[in-house]
Structure 1
Amino acid sequence: ILCYLDNDDAGRNALSRLRREFGDKVADKSALYPDHKDLNDYLMATQPKISNNPKLRL
């Protein structure tokens, strides 16, 4: 079970509960984004910005 949870108390508590329930089947993947709140925050910071206003060429 790969867990990409938030880097906050709620995320750590959820991970702890999952580990109690499922043991070694649980893998904490939040180390991939230690300086970010969550996976989405990390992805938004590392991906190029995409414009919402594409220019049409006629």
Structure 2
Amino acid sequence: MSGADKIKNAAEKAVGKGKEAVGKATDNPKLEAEGKADHAKGSVKQAGENVKDALK
């Protein structure tokens, strides 16, 4: 996994967690769900990159 990919995936996870927290704090279920989805997407991408690295 390249360093840039690690940073992008970590940033996507962090943004997702932030959206989720803001959604909870403002009682906005749509924003909370969007944050959870962003966080999950970042985690899946990171896992895929880890698999690629393992195969090398």
Bigger helix fraction: 2
What is the TM-score normalised by the length of structure 2? 0.31
Greater C-alpha radius of gyration: 1
Using the size of structure 1 for normalisation, the TM-score is 0.31
Higher strand share: 1
